[in-house]
Amino acid sequence: MLQDGPIRLRGLDLSDKKKLALLANNKKVWDNLRDYMPHPYSEEDAVDFIRLTDQEAPKLTFAIEYNIELCGVIGLVPQKDVYRRTAEIGYCLGEPFWGKGIATTAVKLLTAYGFQQIDLVRIHTGVFEYNTVSMRVLEKNGYKKEGIFKHAVLKNGKIWDEHRYAKLREEEYAGKI
């Protein structure tokens, strides 16, 4: 478990299925995620996802809790081959929890976990051009914009740019590791 004040990251449990389905079954949430996330999102989708995360070793996917209430999910996707010391970070919050600083703290906690516990040297992600709130979450955590992939994303029948962000362990822990 990772915690900072009222925000806690913990493993997902089957008891989360109803709340996870409720939060994820929202078009405004889905609009900022890749299409492999189903929409509409059912309790069966939640169960499948939770069971998938049960197989992780080490733990890479976490429930985000705010004041002991499930409000979202955050995770790291390890890369392969020559990129094996890199992971992609992804996160989503239910709409009722937007604008409270929860995502910023969750990203801070998971980034530290990735560098300290998983021994990553780089964490990156891509953000759709219209999701400026997510860009700000990353920037507040010291992620740097590395570039813009022009016309790289097809979402909701439109072509969008993808903004790529990354953080290096050496920047986070300069002189500490």
122 φ, ψ to 5°?
Answer: -150, 135
In a domain, 154, yes or no: no
C-beta atoms surrounding 130 within 10 Å: 14
175 φ, ψ to 5°?
Answer: 80, 0
Helix (H, G, I), strand (E, B) or coil at 13: coil
pLDDT in tens, the chain (177 residues): 899 999 999 999 999 999 999 999 999 999 999 999 999 999 999 999 999 999 999 999 999 999 999 999 999 999 999 999 999 999 999 999 999 999 999 999 999 999 999 999 999 999 999 999 999 999 999 999 999 999 999 999 999 999 999 999 987 665 554
C-alpha atoms less than 13 angstroms from C-alpha of 138 in its C-beta half-sphere: 26
Kindly report the length of the chain. 177
In a domain, 166, yes or no: no
In a domain, 174, yes or no: no
In a domain, 137, yes or no: no
Pairing of β 86-93 and β 122-128: parallel
Q: Residue 18's domain spans which residues?
A: 2-123
78 contacts: CB under 8 Å, gap ≥ 6: 60, 84, 86, 87, 118
In a domain, 116, yes or no: yes
In a domain, 35, yes or no: yes
In a domain, 149, yes or no: no
Query: Domain total for the chain?
Result: 1
Identify the pLDDT of residue 70.
Answer: 98
CATH of the domain at 61: 3.40.630.30
In a domain, 8, yes or no: yes
